[in-house]
Structure 1
Amino acid sequence: MTDTPPPGYQPAPAPYGFQQLPPHPEANNAMVFGIVGLCLSVMCGGLGVFVAPFGWIKGKRAMAEIDANPTTYGGRGNAQAGFITGLIGTILGALFLLFWVAYIVFIIVMIVVTSREADTTTFDSINAMLSTRI
């Protein structure tokens, strides 16, 4: 006789004495830091780079502790979610910050270049140029 139920029926529930492992204390924190960091990186132009690494680090540490002793703690999925979202949030945040730094440097260079240029265009030269083309 097999332990699988016939088609259309659900398997029997776990016995009453079965206890679920408590989640690792840092697993939920890692997930929250990772998700908040990812959201801030995407929606706030790179500000998540200051939050997402905490999710990345906490998630990696919690996964290592859960893997070292799987009979003590559960919640590996939350720790892994924090690790992955923290990693992605850190990368996106760094790219966004790099973009903003390059943009600000570009604006400063353009201001310096245009301020040093000799003022050769005057209204008289524009009028003279327009009158010769008509």
Structure 2
Amino acid sequence: MTTTPPPGYQPAPYGFPQPPPHPEANSAMVLGIVGLCLSVMCGGIGVFVAPFGWIKGKRVMAEIDANPAAYGGRGNAQAGFITGLIGTIFGALYMLFWVAYVIFIIVMIVVASKETDSTTTFDSINAMLSSRI
């Protein structure tokens, strides 16, 4: 006995057919993840990429929520939004750290240059060299 269905037989669909994913949902997720990784691992460079994932993820989520029957993929868009937001925050903190570090170094150089007297330094070096001879 064969178990092949008769010609023209269509099996009943299980559940409802899922709408296709939004065309930009995956790109929002990729931008957010790349921005987060660059912000954490490369000292804040992701601050230039992560906001694009954040903005695109928010826009795509709004489009999916406006017409849920036409588009799916809200999870990917939400992942891009969240990782883009976190990557932007980390990147901004890293950039703030680097700016404060550079300002600190400049202040230390200026303070050190004002406190040292060049004649005193050279006199002490000459005294040290003459004592060894």
TM-score with structure 2 setting the length? 0.78
Following superposition, the deviation at residue 16 of structure 1 comes to 6.4
Q: Mean Cα displacement is larger for which, 110-119 or 52-61?
A: 110-119
Matched, 1:48 2:46: yes
Note the 1:1-134 alignment, pairs <5 A.
15=13, 18-119=16-117, 120=120, 122=124
Deviations 1:14-48 (CA, angstroms, capped at 9, x unpaired): 71695321111111010000000000000000000
Structure 2 partner of 1:5: none
TM-score with structure 1 setting the length? 0.77
Structure 1 partner of 2:3: none
How big is the alpha-carbon RMSD for the aligned residues of Structure 1 and Structure 2?
A: 1.9
> Which portions of structure 1, spanning 4 or more consecutive aligned residues, are displaced by more than 2 angstroms?
16-20, 118-125
Q: Unmatched 5+ residue regions in structure 2?
A: 1-11, 129-133
Residue identity opposite 1:28 in structure 2: N
Cα separation, 1, equivalents of 2:15 and 2:37: 41
Cα separation, 2, equivalents of 1:55 and 1:17: 32
Cα separation, 2, equivalents of 1:17 and 1:79: 24
Residue identity opposite 1:58 in structure 2: K
Rg: which structure is higher?
Answer: 2
Cα separation, 1, equivalents of 2:13 and 2:21: 21
Partner secondary structure for residue 103 of structure 1: helix
